[in-house]
């Protein structure tokens, strides 16, 4: 089997935060290539910079130095419009604490990313298809009976499945997940990992961040962050 090309390439990524006068140096030259169809886990101790790196890969934060390229395009040179599109359509995010909107029901939460990128008229034209896609995702995620529920009426595992549906809504080329099982008991967490595994088998490229070695072992490749770098 020939190796698929890298869709995401991070080279020599540096990042510090300033806490008053003292800089906190987090990333000191991270190199990482993600190939199409891969399922990668990034592990490292708490505070090692895993979330920082994931945010940089997803265009939510910028490196101080270094380059992040997605399919050959430099993420840090995108216009704000291109960057919005990158965050909304090219990548999908899943977070530890779900970040669902309690005012919206499950289906509306899932469909939201399709709405955000459109004008009112654009949305009127697209919403029927978008709802169909949302409904299909809810079916895949075993949530069809929950479509009209509000997030606060759901269990943690169900909420995370809604968040995964939302992340998949715009058919992202890359799914980024930051401790997606961190708030769940191990059986429920396993269910979420099964969902990710199934998605990956269907071709979805995934980068998952976790401090838990057992979670990381579900990925095809494990990358360890130590002292601000990828351990060789
Ligand atoms: N906005 C910020 N301002 C200042 N310091 C920050 C900021 N974000 C992160 N840091 C610091 O950067 C370091 C790396 O944080 P990061 O959240 O990336 O770690 P992590 O590996 O995801 O940890 P965890 O496993 O606990 O989630 C930490 O020391 C943290 O305190
Ligand atoms: Mg983190």
Give the CATH architecture of domain 39-51+80-230: 3-Layer(aba) Sandwich (3.40)
Residue pointed to by tokens 């809810």: 138
CA 204 – CA 210 distance, rounded (Å): 19
- Secondary structure in 3-state letters for 189-200: HHHHHHHHHHHH
From the CA of 44, the nearest ligand is 1
**DSSP-based three-state secondary structure for 219:** coil
Q: Output the residue whose Cα is nearest ligand 1's atom 9.
A: 52
State the distance from the centre of ligand 1 to the C-alpha of 224, rounded, in angstroms: 16
Backbone φ and ψ of 197, nearest 5°: -65, -45
What's the full length of the chain, in residues?
Answer: 232
pLDDT in tens, the chain (232 residues): 557 889 999 999 999 998 888 899 999 999 999 999 999 999 999 999 999 999 999 999 999 999 999 999 999 999 999 999 999 999 999 999 999 999 999 999 999 999 988 889 999 999 999 999 999 999 999 999 999 999 999 999 999 999 999 999 999 999 999 999 999 999 999 999 999 999 999 999 999 999 999 999 999 999 999 999 999 8
Atom of ligand 1 nearest to the CA of 54: 18
Q: Is the pTM of this model over 0.85?
A: yes
Helix axes 106-116, 120-140, angle to 10 degrees: 140
Q: Output the residue whose Cα is nearest ligand 1's atom 2.
A: 17
pLDDT of residue 2: 59
Cα–chain center distance at 189: 16
State the distance from the centre of ligand 2 to the C-alpha of 129, rounded, in angstroms: 35
State the distance from the centre of ligand 2 to the C-alpha of 122, rounded, in angstroms: 36
**Ligand 1, pocket residues at CB < 6 Å:** 17, 19, 24, 26, 44, 46-52, 211
Helix axes 156-168, 120-140, angle to 10 degrees: 130
Looking at residue 88, the DSSP 8-state letter turns out to be: I
pLDDT of residue 4: 81
């Amino acid at each position: 089997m020939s190796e698929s090309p890298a869709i995401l390439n991070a080279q020599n990524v540096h990042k510090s935060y300033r806490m008053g006068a003292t800089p906190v140096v987090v990333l000191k030259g991270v190199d990482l290539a993600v190939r199409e169809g891969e399922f990668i886990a990034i592990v490292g101790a708490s505070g090692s910079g895993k979330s920082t790196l994931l945010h940089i890969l997803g265009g939510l934060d910028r490196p101080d130095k270094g380059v992040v390229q997605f399919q050959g395009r430099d993420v840090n040179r995108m216009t704000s419009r291109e960057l919005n599109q990158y965050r909304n359509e090219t990548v999908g995010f899943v977070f530890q604490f779900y970040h669902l909107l309690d005012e919206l029901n499950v289906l509306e939460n899932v469909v939201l990313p399709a709405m955000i990128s459109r004008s009112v008229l654009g949305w009127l034209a697209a919403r029927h298809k978008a709802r169909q896609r949302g409904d299909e995702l809810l079916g895949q995620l075993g949530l069809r009976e929950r479509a009209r529920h509000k997030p606060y009426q759901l269990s943690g595992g169900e909420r995370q499945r809604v968040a995964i549906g939302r992340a998949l809504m715009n058919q992202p080329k890359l799914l980024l997940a930051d401790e997606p099982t961190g708030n769940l008991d191990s059986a429920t967490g396993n269910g979420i990992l099964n969902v990710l595994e199934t998605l990956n088998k269907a071709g979805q490229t995934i980068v998952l961040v976790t401090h838990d070695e057992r979670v990381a072992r579900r990925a095809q490749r494990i990358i360890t962050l130590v002292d601000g770098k990828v351990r060789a």
